[in-house]
Structures are given as C-alpha cells and as structure tokens.
Amino acid sequence: MNDNLEPKLKDTSGPIAFQTEIKQLLNILVHSLYTKKEIFIRELLSNASDALTQMRYIQQTDHEILDPSQELEIRIEVDKEKGLLRISDTGIGMTSEELKTNLGTIAQSGARAFLEAAQGDDSNLVDVIGRFGVGFYSVFMAADWVKVTSRSYKSGEDAASWFATGADTFEIGSSDKEPRGTTIEVKLKEDTLEFADEYRLKEIIKKHSDYIPFPIYVNEDEEQTNRQNAIWRENPRSVEEEQYHEFYRQLTLELEQPLETIHFVADAPLMIYALMYLPAAPDRGMFTLREQDGLKLYARKILIEEYSKDLLPPYYRFIQGVVDAEDLPLNVSRESVQATALINRINKILTNQVTQKLKEMANKEPEAYLDFWSKFGQFIKEGVASKDTNGEDLSELLLFRTTTSPDQWSSLDDYLEHMKPGQEKIYYILGDDESSVSRSPHLDYFQTHCYEVLTLTDPVDSFMLLGLREYKEFSLQNVADSDLQLPDLLDDDEDGEKKEQPEPLSEDDINKLINRFQEVLGDKVTEVRMTNRLTNSVARLVDAKGSLGQEMQRVYRMMDKEYQIPKKILEINPGHPILQQICDLPEANDLVKTVIEQIFESALLIEGIHPDPASMIPRIQELMKTALDKD
Ligand code: ADP
Ligand code: MG
C-alpha cells in the first residue's frame, strides 16, 4: 500500500465535527500563504515540552504512573522520501476522550480571538498563534494529514489515535502504542518537504526551540539538537565572560564582541531573566542573524516572540538580547490587558537596568563610555527628546562640546563644576558646525567674560532640547535669545584687562545709523536696534519677541524643507569701528549701502540661514575694489 494514502484508523468512531471556530481557523490555516510555516514545529515542540513539564511535576507527587523510569525527552524522525515528520514525546499523553476534547471539540475562545484579530488576513498573526492557545492547528499550514497517537500516563488507560486532514471533521480510533506519551505524525504537503530535511529541521529547532528544557533528538543522532541550558537563567556570578560572548555570537552572528553585557535575574516583583548586550556598532552587521530590532522574548524558556519591540523604549532599540519571563502566559493573546500590563512592567525594569548600566559606565569606565557615546549618543539624545522615558532621566548620560573645552566631551555635571559664582543658567548655542559656531556674535559676551557655553551642532540637538529644559535646578538658556538676562558680573576685573574702548557714538549718531540701516534693509528685518551685548562682532540677528524659538525653527526646517525662517531683528554694535567709520562718511555715499548689505548678509551666514551665500561674491568684489582703489 502507498504511504501517501491516508492511514486507516482502527475501530474508528466515524467523523466528528470540529467546533465551529476551529473549523474557521483550520480553513484559514490550510490556505495560509504565510511564509514562515516552520513555526508549526515550534508549536508542536512547545506542546511536547508542556506535556513533559507536567509529567515531571506528576512524577514528584504521584506514584501510580505508566513507565515511571522513562526518560523525559523528545524524539523526531523524518523521512524525506515519504514526506513524513514524526515528533514523539514521553510526556503525560492523552486518553481518547482527551484527544477528542483537547484537539477539536472543546469551546475555544482562543480560536475566536485569533479569527477576530486576523480578520481574514493571517499575515503576521500566525507567528504568535501560540499565544491564542491554538498553536497545535498551525500544523495544518504544512500538512496533508496529521495523526496523533497517544497513551496517557494514567495506568489502565488504552492508547488512542486522532486523525484529521484539515477539513471539517476528525476521527478517533484505537491504537496499540505501548510507551507513555504522544506521537504526532505529519504528512507534509508537496511544498513543505523541506521540513523533512534533517539539516533544515535541526536549523529550525536551534532557531526556535533551542532552550526547550528537555533534550530533543533527531533521527539516529545521539547528540541532542537543542542546547537546552538557558545561560540567562544561570546565576550571573557563575557565567564566564567567554560564555557571554559566545552566546552573543550565536544570537547575532555579529563578528565584533559586544561593548557591554547586562545580565539581570530577578524574582521580585516579577520573575524575569534578561541577558542584554550593547552591540559594538549601531548598525547590524552584514551577516547578522537579527533581521530587526527587538529582544527575543521567552516565557518559561519557550520562544514566544523573535523580535519583541515592547520590552524596551524605542530609543534603546539598538540593544540585543533575550528576556525570559516566568509569569507571561503562553496562551494569552497579544491584546490581552493582563499581558500588556505585564509587558509594561518588564519594560520599566529593563529600561532601568540599561540606564543604570550606562550611568555606571559613564562614572567608572569613561573611556568605554566615550566609545559608546560616539556610536550611540544619537539614541540617548532621542531618549531625552522623547516624552515617554519611562521615568528615566537620561540627561546625566549626555556629553557635549563646549566653548572652553572644544576638543573634549563634557557632561552636564562637568559643566556645573565650571560655572562661575552667581551663574544661574546653563548656556548653549545652536549651530550647524563647530567652526561657524565658534565665530558666532552670540558668544561675544560669554567669551569676553569667560562663561562656558555648550555648542550644539548636531541636527538632533534641537529635538533633544525640547526635552531638556533644565538640569539639577539650572535651566538651559540659548545665548541667541534676544531677551536673555545676562548674569550680574560680580567682579568683572578678574576676567582680564579691559579692552581699550573707542569713544562711544552719540545718541544722535546712533539714531542716524539705525535709520540708515532700516532704509537699506527695508523689510528684510523686522527691526534694527543697538545692543551692548556685542564686543568683537559688528552685528547679530535675533528673533523678534513672540516668534518661535530657534530650536523649534530648526526642528521645523528639518521636517519641512519649505519652511521659511521668520524675519529677525538686526542688533548692531555701536562700539564697533566699522560702524563708527560709517558715521564719518557722508550720507549719500554708495559704499555705505554696500557695507550695510554685507553686514546683514554676513549675519545671515553666521546664523546658517543665508539662502544663497554665493550671491555675496559680486558685492565682496566691489568692496575689495573700493579698498584697493583707495591706496
Ligand atoms: P495550548 O498548547 O496553548 O494549550 P495547543 O493548540 O497548542 O494549545 O494544544 C491544545 C491542547 O492539546 C493542549 O492544551 C494539550 O492539552 C493538548 N496537547 C497538544 N499536544 C500535546 C502533547 N504532545 N502531549 C499532550 N497533550 C498535548
Ligand atoms: Mg501549544
């Protein structure tokens, strides 16, 4: 007789209808186009593992059991030619009544929940089918028929068989199976024969079921296929650095060692085991196994999600690793309130672990932290900007360039240490690059009086500032703010010799000058006024009162290329020799107009908002010519 034909059951009861929701579920699964059908193997192994776990428990309490000395194990046989896959366990087994209720007739709220969540489209839901408590049926994505033969651990019970093709009914028959446990025989469909390939099968077991706590043997292989020992469940003190690195390599296939390992085991308030890694680089390597961000989530050593993105906030998405939660229900749907609340609590605990580790690194291993910062600083800034920080304060982790130590990284605590007596604010300047920032007129005052200013030149800095308004009671202050209150100078003389001041301009001269500027610039600026804030610079641009702050302007500009920077106020420095010389020239002089235009456009340039810098060239040539003509 041909093996492809459906095996006959003995003493069959005749067809029994599946419960309605299960019929619908089967209909979806049989026709599923889901590409990772391999997950049915994980589901069958997870069921075998559950049956073995229960058996282990029963062995400790009950002595009237069948085959008490039988090893607790899983054996898999494949026959590629016949397209057969057979999974046997020595777990608790099922009686014929249990086969009938567990695999088909009992009301299944999980099946209904799955159908509702899928709404006809199973594309990604199949991946988490186990959580709905209907994982067994996933086998029908790959099977022409399935035969389950089982013998209960209860002595005196007969073995029985269950048979189905994925249609609306199943059958129950008798069996002469001797040993305790369950054997699931799967006749693979033409297009799923890969699962009868020993090599492929072992690969799948390693990927999805490596940490099943019972040995899994494939065909005649005496060596178990799964690794079984979950390193993350071990006492952190007993694990060698080498083992951590080896596990990281197997998890990710990354060539470089991780920057840092975080192994965390807790039994209160939640039982969780977490092994997390800071990778060597923010981008996954070419040959990485990890196709997406997210941690690998297990519940009692059984993989329930390959890439769980809910266990850490988005800004920690670069972290790799494994989390195993004892209290996570395996068969609870993703949307369940209970599971969500639990995941949120785990998230909070893990986030805190990572943040603490980073703080520890920053304090105790500054070199290593600098390395981390140079690679992952962006993520920390993103975290500071995000409102949802899970109660964590990340600002301690930030590093900055500053005007007084431009070649080093300083933390906000370093900055506080350098503050001058009486200084109440943390000053910063925004710009596009270090070199233009260092020439900014906004720094005149602060440089003259030796105040340290943070230089923020990274595009994400403007976003970061939205979430960083103060640090340890000191508020942050943009030096370009026009209404900035300058610190009272306690003892200015200590700041070095006073520059020789030119004769100040008379009020009359200043007014004439302002008028002249206004005439030339017209509506390119909202106002022209004098300021005493500048020393080396001729002029600067500041935002009109009530207009959007510079940070938000930058954020808008980044999000919308069409965004127009609002017009600004031009502040001029009456003590600057250029302005004094303009006053000495006759009012009708053409050169004055050219110089004023150039002063304005230079100010635009230094702010990084000149729309067309090259357009200044003809004017600069004209000025050069005038200068040369003079001599
Ligand atoms: P779940 O595992 O979430 O309960 P499944 O659809 O995977 O849902 O399995 C349905 C039920 O079938 C299980 O709860 C269990 O009672 C029974 N079962 C499946 N496989 C086995 C097995 N290998 N040994 C014993 N019972 C099993
Ligand atoms: Mg299951």
Ligand 1 centroid from CA 327, angstroms: 19
3-state secondary structure 282-329: CCCCCCCCCCCCCEEEEECCEEEEEEECCCCCHHHCCCEEEEEECCCC
Separation of alpha carbons 451 and 494, rounded Å: 13
Ligand nearest the Cα of residue 149 is 1
For the Cβ of 135 lying below 6 angstroms from any atom of ligand 1, the answer is: yes
Across 487-496, average pLDDT: 54
For the cut 50, the answer to whether the pLDDT of residue 2 exceeds it is: no
> Burial, 336: exposed, middle or buried (Cβ in 10 Å; 0-12, 13-18, 19+)?
middle
Ligand 1 centroid from CA 535, angstroms: 80
> Which of 18, 40, 45, 47 for a ligand 1 pocket mutation test, highest count of atoms within 8 Å of Cβ?
47
Calculate the alpha carbon distances from 309 to 313, 319, 322 in Å.
8, 11, 12
The chain-wide mean pLDDT, for the chain, equals: 89
Neighbours of 554 (CB within 10 A): 24
For the Cβ of 146 lying below 6 angstroms from any atom of ligand 1, the answer is: no
Ligand 1 centroid from CA 98, angstroms: 10
What is the share, in percent, of the chain residues with pLDDT greater than 90?
62
For the Cβ of 477 lying below 6 angstroms from any atom of ligand 1, the answer is: no
Task: Pick the atom of ligand 1 nearest to 98's CA.
Answer: 16
pLDDT of residue 496: 47
pTM recorded for the entire structure: 0.67
Q: What angle do CA 541, 476, 473 make, to 5 degrees?
A: 155
The per-residue pLDDT for range 518-540, each reduced to its tens digit, is 999 999 999 999 998 898 999 99
Across 32-37, average pLDDT: 90
pLDDT of residue 198: 96
Task: Identify the residue with better confidence: 123 or 366.
Answer: 366
For the Cβ of 92 lying below 6 angstroms from any atom of ligand 1, the answer is: yes
The per-residue pLDDT for range 556-606, each reduced to its tens digit, is 888 888 888 889 999 999 999 999 999 888 877 889 999 999 999 999 999
Ligand nearest the Cα of residue 53 is 1
> What domains sit in the chain, N to C, each tagged with a CATH number?
16-218 (3.30.565.10), 231-367 (3.30.230.80), 400-491 (3.40.50.11260), 507-630 (1.20.120.790)
Indicate the DSSP class of residue 104.
I
Task: Pick the atom of ligand 1 nearest to 92's CA.
Answer: 25
Task: Identify the residue with better confidence: 304 or 275.
Answer: 275
3-state secondary structure 155-179: CCCCCEEEEECCCCEEEEEECCCCC
Specify whether the CB–CB gap between 126 and 137 falls below 8 A. Answer: no
Cβ neighbours of residue 329 closer than 8 Å, sequence gap 6 or more: 131, 299, 336, 338, 339
Separation of alpha carbons 145 and 4, rounded Å: 10
Query: Checking DSSP bridges between strand 525-530 and strand 84-89, what pairing results, if any?
Result: unpaired
Across 331-340, average pLDDT: 61
Separation of alpha carbons 148 and 570, rounded Å: 84
The per-residue pLDDT for range 95-138, each reduced to its tens digit, is 999 999 999 988 678 899 889 888 867 777 888 788 788 999 99
Each residue of 542-551: b (16+ CB within 10 Å) or e? bbeeebebbb
Return the residue whose CA atom lies nearest to atom 27 of ligand 1.
47
For the Cβ of 134 lying below 6 angstroms from any atom of ligand 1, the answer is: yes
Ligand 2 centroid from CA 44, angstroms: 7
Task: Pick the atom of ligand 1 nearest to 132's CA.
Answer: 3
pLDDT of residue 631: 66
Question: Collapsing DSSP states into helix, strand and coil, what is residue 365?
Answer: coil
For the Cβ of 27 lying below 6 angstroms from any atom of ligand 1, the answer is: no
The per-residue pLDDT for range 234-289, each reduced to its tens digit, is 999 999 998 898 889 878 878 889 999 999 999 888 899 999 999 999 988 776 77
For the cut 80, the answer to whether the pLDDT of residue 166 exceeds it is: yes
Most confident of 126-140, 443-457, 501-515: 443-457
What is the share, in percent, of the chain residues with pLDDT greater than 70?
93
